[in-house]
Amino acid sequence: MTPAQLVALGALGAALAGCTASAEDVRPPDDRLFFPTGVAVSPNQKLLFVTNANSDLTFDSGSVAVFDVNVINQLVTEWQTVGVPAGCTPDSDYTETLNCEAPLVLDTTRQSGVRIGNFATDIAVQDRDDGGGELRLVVPTRGDPSITWVDWTGERLQCRDGSEGHALCDDDHRLSFVLNDDDLVSIPEEPFGVFADTKGEFAIVTHLTTGAVTLIDSPRNGNAVITDIVTGVFAPDPSNGVRGATSVAGRTPQMPGDIIYVGSRSEDRVQTFTVGRPVNGAPPFLLTGSYFFLDAVGANNGQSNDTRGMAFSGSGDRLYLVNRRPPSLQIFDTSLGPTGFPKNDPIGATDLCRQASTVTVANSGDGDRVYVTCFQDGQLYIINPQGQGSVDDIVTVGRGPYSVVAAPDAKKLFVTNFLEDTIAVLDIEPGSPTRNRVVLRIGERRTP
């Protein structure tokens, strides 16, 4: 069932039940997690943004919650050096883990969040710092479908006029049509992955069921607007008709002329794009670049597709790509060759869990580590990409780990656990006795 159908069913159910819940009753809470999906950190690693997908439609909208990383760090430090902080409890199964309810952690930032559409899938951060720490968040939401953009003012998220905290984003911040013109094309269904390019001032959204890619022009001092949609980027899988674009990542998002890599659900191919900006000030568009195939792993066995995550190393010289068929993390050398063009050569791979969902890479002091969430198994795979890559650790993080992001300066890793409404915080400090362990779980675990 698609999210749109779910929405309709929910509405129908509410109507049939004669539901008289007030707007306040169905207003999403600002101090808890409900089906957390996307997670991102600010470039200065002081803020953590989490999308709540509201996937059971308990509330009338989803939200973006803002966490102060310092608060999280203080809780962990207190737990590890002093004792159990007030309002938290040690985990009964894992002695190194502290459980803290979300309101405690969100205490100072609950009014900094905003409300958005249902079924948010991902979140990307564009740095537009003018000295005050300004940012822009881009969030695909499958329910409408639409793409929401929200600005961080330095103090709170803002997506409508006024000073109300935890406000519902207005229509200007909800992008559904090219150039915001409802006479023009609307975005395809199932927006899925998102990548924001700080230097290029754009964002790109993939579409899970259509194989389309949407470009959002996002000038740092202007409104975000959809300017181009490329359809048919990926062909359907001939065996089942499924098609889709999934993961998206930029090689060097802090530098001009970034190359964007897009993976597919149905093809064993990675397609690259760049963004063209006409000199006459016309809206930017996507330029289709070269592509390469994922036939270095599993191809001899007839399975080499369903890419679900991509992340680049800080230098852009390595691409880490998560494939579901076969379950694998694949490592590509994307450094520039003697011709000045990225090599895009496969150099290694490791076995992974099934149903891996997202990937991030972080260097917290002793080289890159790649972190992959395993939705089905409730695990996080930690991979050392040296050599051909090897699994460093497999950590149980919670039910339905969806997305992962690192704050290397804080030596922390954050995983959203979609099925239990929590965020698992892992210690990633080299040499720490709790390295690669969940040291804090934020949120009250929802029972299955």
Partner 1 sequence: MKRLALVGVLAAAACGDTSSNPPLQLNLDRPVDITFACYGGLRITNGGEANPGQPVETTAQPVEACNIRSGPRETAAPVPVPFGQEDLTAMGGAPVIGAAWYAFILQSAPGTVAIAAWGTKPAIAFQNGDVDVLDADRLTPGKNSISVGEDPIAIATDRAGCKAITANAGSCDLSVLDINDALDQVTGVDVQRLVVTNASGVPIRSKPAAMVAEPMTTTIGNSCPAVDGKRVASGLVYVAYPSCNLVAGIDLATGQIVTGVQLDADGDPTIVTGAVSCPDECGDGAAALPGARPTTLDLEQDPRSGSRRLVIGAENSRKLSVIDLDLDSRPSGVTQVIELEDPTGTLGVTALALSPVIGMGGESHDIDDDNAPGGDFQFVYAVATDGTVRVADVLIVNTECDTQVDPRFLRDGSFTARDLSCFSVGVLGTPPRRPGARGPGIELVGDVIPTSVDFVRSRAIEGDTRAEQLPGKLIGTFAIVTALNGATFVVNVDDDDYPDQFDPARPLAVPVPLSLPHGLRDAVVDRGRLATQVVDGETQKLCEFNGPTLSNGGVEGGPRAATSPSRNVAQGAYALEKLTQLPGIRQLRCEGTDSTRAISELSFAAPEDVRDREFPDLRALRIEETWTLTWEGALSVDKRDSAVDGPVVREGMLFVDQSGMHLRDQTRPYCDAGVEPFDVVQMRGCDPALGNSDCPLTYRCYVHPTSQVQGLGACIRENEAERLADACKDFLTSIRRYTVARAESGEVLLMPRRHELRTTPIDGCTDDAQCEALGDYAARTQTTRHPIDDQATVDPHQWVCRADPTRKPRGTGNRRCNMACDISSDCATGTVCAGGNPMTAETKEGLCMEGITPAQSCVNAPQRYELRAGEAFLVAGTRSGYVHSTIADATGACRRDPTAHPLLTGRIPLTAPPCDPTADPISGRLPGGGYEPNPCSTTVSQTDVIPNYQPDTCTLATVPSNLVERQAPAIQFRNRGMNLNIVDPYYPGDNRCIADRGGTLANVPVVFPGYQLTFRQTGGFTPLVVPVSPSMPTKVVRGPTQSIWVIDEGDFLSTSIAQPSTRGKVFRVEVHALGLVNTLE
Strands 174-175 and 146-152: antiparallel
Neighbours of 75 (CB within 10 A): 22
Which single residue is written with the structure tokens 């679900």?
308
C-beta of 326: minimal distance to partner 1 in Å? 4
Listed ranges 55-63, 77-85, 307-315, 338-346: which one lies at the site for partner 1 (CB under 8 A): 338-346
Nearer to partner 1 by Cβ, of 112 and 373: the residue is 373
Tokens in use for 153? 């003012």
Size of the site for partner 1 (CB under 8 A): 76
Nearer to partner 1 by Cβ, of 162 and 256: the residue is 256
Does 345 interact with partner 1 (rule: CB under 8 A)?
yes
C-beta of 371: minimal distance to partner 1 in Å? 16
Q: Residues 399 to 438: which contact partner 1 by CB under 8 A? A: 430-435
Please confirm whether the linkage preceding 326 is cis (ω < 30° from 0).
yes
Q: Which helix (H) or strand (E) holds 90?
A: strand 88-90
Does 140 interact with partner 1 (rule: CB under 8 A)?
no
Nearer to partner 1 by Cβ, of 50 and 356: the residue is 356
Does 376 interact with partner 1 (rule: CB under 8 A)?
no
Interface with partner 1 (CB under 8 A), residue from 3, 113, 188, 342: 342
C-beta of 358: minimal distance to partner 1 in Å? 19
Does 13 interact with partner 1 (rule: CB under 8 A)?
no
Interface with partner 1 (CB under 8 A), residue from 393, 396, 445, 446: 393
With b for 16 or more beta-carbon neighbours within 10 A and e for fewer, the 42-71 pattern comes to beebbbbbbbbbbbebebbbbbbbbbbbeb
Please confirm whether the linkage preceding 145 is cis (ω < 30° from 0).
yes
Does 290 interact with partner 1 (rule: CB under 8 A)?
yes
Nearer to partner 1 by Cβ, of 281 and 448: the residue is 281
Interface with partner 1 (CB under 8 A), residue from 141, 227, 264, 313: 227
Does 84 interact with partner 1 (rule: CB under 8 A)?
no
Listed ranges 37-45, 85-93, 150-158, 282-290: which one lies at the site for partner 1 (CB under 8 A): 282-290
Nearer to partner 1 by Cβ, of 125 and 230: the residue is 230
- Is 334 in contact with 344 (CB distance < 8 Å)? yes
> Over the Cα atoms of the chain, what is R_g?
21
First to last CA, the chain: 20
Nearer to partner 1 by Cβ, of 81 and 300: the residue is 300
Listed ranges 28-36, 94-102, 150-158, 334-342: which one lies at the site for partner 1 (CB under 8 A): 334-342
Which single residue is written with the structure tokens 């990937």?
359
C-beta of 342: minimal distance to partner 1 in Å? 8
Strand, helix or coil at 9?
helix
Neighbours of 291 (CB within 10 A): 17
Interface with partner 1 (CB under 8 A), residue from 26, 84, 104, 179: 179
Q: Residues 259 to 278: which contact partner 1 by CB under 8 A? A: 259, 269, 272, 274-276, 278
Rounded distance, CA 118 to CA 266, Å? 26
Interface with partner 1 (CB under 8 A), residue from 263, 327, 378, 398: 327
Strand, helix or coil at 238?
coil
Does 314 interact with partner 1 (rule: CB under 8 A)?
no
Rounded distance, CA 435 to CA 231, Å? 43
Rounded distance, CA 398 to CA 59, Å? 23
How crowded is the C-beta side of 51, counted as CA atoms within 13 Å? Answer: 33
Does 339 interact with partner 1 (rule: CB under 8 A)?
yes
Burial (CB < 10 A; 0-12, 13-18, 19+), residue 238, is: exposed
Does 347 interact with partner 1 (rule: CB under 8 A)?
yes
C-beta of 240: minimal distance to partner 1 in Å? 7
Does 228 interact with partner 1 (rule: CB under 8 A)?
yes
With b for 16 or more beta-carbon neighbours within 10 A and e for fewer, the 265-279 pattern comes to bbbbbbbbbebeeee
Does 95 interact with partner 1 (rule: CB under 8 A)?
no
Interface with partner 1 (CB under 8 A), residue from 288, 315, 376, 409: 288
- Is 263 in contact with 245 (CB distance < 8 Å)? yes
Q: Residues 180 to 209: which contact partner 1 by CB under 8 A? A: 184-185
Q: Which amino acid is at 434?
A: T
**For residue 27, which of 223, 166, 175, 200 has the smallest C-alpha distance?**
166
C-beta of 386: minimal distance to partner 1 in Å? 5
Does 443 interact with partner 1 (rule: CB under 8 A)?
no
